[in-house]
Chains A and B, each alone.
Chain A
């Protein structure tokens, strides 16, 4: 599996650290309540198919990126900076 870093181009998966579902870039408000925080921290759609997840280019440029990927085929469709994905 190779991931397209927006800064560095296509790189080996080993350069990246997997953080989990891209829900991580949409943090709820501090007072959003326990259910919203439970969803953010624990509950997942866990799709069999297209998904978006958050990776860290640990052995590269150090960027956090949101990767569009397929969990059934391991195909990587593209990646954007987490900064942009969150805004």
Chain B
């Protein structure tokens, strides 16, 4: 089903009764050419690009719950390409380009809003680091503008510029950064995949991976056995459990990351803003809620909710940066399950089992990566070769120590990212 202005007017006049479900609800077939485990953003994008770029349409996405119910609906919706290290840089740059064409490509409104992202800095040393990052971004072909204090003030007059402890020295402005409606991204890719013949099978939990002589032959699910010569694992925080079905242990520890939203307010924050000293970032949704978050709680967790110390820390950072926020009331908070790698960068790779592929380790940065992750993983599953933009996301970099991508520069160790 296509969308048009005419159709919207027509449905508005006739009670919105003519809209149809965006995808079918098929029963699983006995055999597919490829199976994707996990119907989140990355899994759906993988299915879409397998069908669109590689003509593989006899494929299924198996989702334990419902489409859009995982991390794709539990993030702070930020889209940006401001990475520094080779490997990450070309990947996120590619991802932002895919974002910029996504709505036309999918014919679906994902409310992608390039409202600009400003990373603030609060010392001379931090300014130097951001100058270096900005130059790296420009060299990659993306956009970065260094703002001085008055430059920041022209965009964000409401900040506390003279905070005694963390005065604002300036900011790195990334105009192409912004936000998108996260659920719509899942729905758009689901619809696009379904239109190309992909079976999206919900309420279908994978309980086993069948392997014969080192070659994958299919999966066991709560809706029966399904055969396939290619299987892709795209299960984010649950990667450890699914990989264990194939006898693998991953360099991943699952952590909780909290986020918060206030009641709906009139437009007040026009950009995405990140505080350089307190791990705090904020934007305002089109509905009016202030959406903000902080750092990990820093312990292994699958609870999808955090503890109060980090909530307190995030509120303190918010009050330090923009005291006006104290008048807003927090509506709700939630936690996402983050698949943390030791170096904080992701994995898109083959596995020791032939025909079994894995896409995981997105840490706290998975949302912006959705299109490029799907694109690169589809390329890997279809051709057996890594896509150029994701060639450095190797699984064995931890074992060999070659090609680690520690974007934060804190060290490659599980408790540091």
Please choose the segment from B158-166, B185-193, B297-305 that sits at the chain A interface, where 4 or more of its residues have CB less than 8 A away. B297-305
Contact flags B352-392 to A (C-beta < 8 A → 1, else 0): 00000000000000000000000000000000000000000
Q: By the criterion CB–CB under 8 Å, are B299 and A18 in contact?
A: yes
- What is the interface of chain B mostly: helix, strand, loop, or mixed? mixed
Q: By the criterion CB–CB under 8 Å, are A1 and B302 in contact?
A: no
Q: Note all chain A residues with C-beta closer than 8 A to B240.
A: 44-48
Q: By the criterion CB–CB under 8 Å, are A20 and B303 in contact?
A: no
Contact flags A30-72 to B (C-beta < 8 A → 1, else 0): 0000110011011111111001010000000000000001011
Give the residues from 217 to 270 in chain B that come closer than 8 angstroms, CB to CB, to chain A. 238, 240-241, 244, 249-254
**Size bin of chain B's contact surface:** 20 to 34
Q: How far is the CA of A34 from the CA of B415 in the complex (A)?
A: 21
Q: How far is the CB of B382 from chain A (nearest CB, A)?
A: 28
Q: By the criterion CB–CB under 8 Å, are B398 and A48 in contact?
A: no
Q: By the criterion CB–CB under 8 Å, are A46 and B299 in contact?
A: no
Contact flag A34-B254 (CB < 8 Å), given A39-B249, A71-B303: no
Q: A residues engaging B (CB < 8 A)?
A: 1, 12-14, 18-21, 34-35, 38-39, 41-48, 51, 53, 69, 71-74
Q: By the criterion CB–CB under 8 Å, are B309 and A34 in contact?
A: no
Q: Note all chain A residues with C-beta closer than 8 A to B254.
A: 46, 48, 71
Closest 8 CB pairs of A and B: A46-B240, A42-B251, A43-B249, A42-B398, A38-B399, A48-B302, A20-B414, A18-B299
Q: By the criterion CB–CB under 8 Å, are A46 and B253 in contact?
A: yes
Q: Note all chain A residues with C-beta closer than 8 A to B309.
A: 12-14
Candidate in A44, A46, A51 with the most chain B CB atoms within 10 angstroms = A46
Q: How far is the CA of A20 from the CA of B300 in the complex (A)?
A: 8
Q: Note all chain B residues with C-beta closer than 8 A to A42.
A: 251, 342, 398-399, 414
Q: By the criterion CB–CB under 8 Å, are A44 and B251 in contact?
A: yes
Contact flag A53-B300 (CB < 8 Å), given A34-B399, A46-B240: yes
Q: By the criterion CB–CB under 8 Å, are B251 and A18 in contact?
A: no
- The listed residue (A34, A35, A38, A71) touching B300 by CB distance below 8 A is A71
Candidate in A34, A39, A42, A71 with the most chain B CB atoms within 10 angstroms = A42
Q: How far is the CA of A24 from the CA of B239 in the complex (A)?
A: 22
- The listed residue (B302, B307, B399, B414) touching A21 by CB distance below 8 A is B414
Q: A13-B309, A41-B413 are in contact. List 18 more A-B contacts (CB 8 A).
A: A1-B299, A12-B309, A18-B299, A19-B415, A20-B253, A21-B253, A38-B398, A42-B398, A42-B414, A44-B240, A44-B249, A44-B414, A45-B240, A46-B252, A46-B300, A71-B254, A72-B303, A74-B301
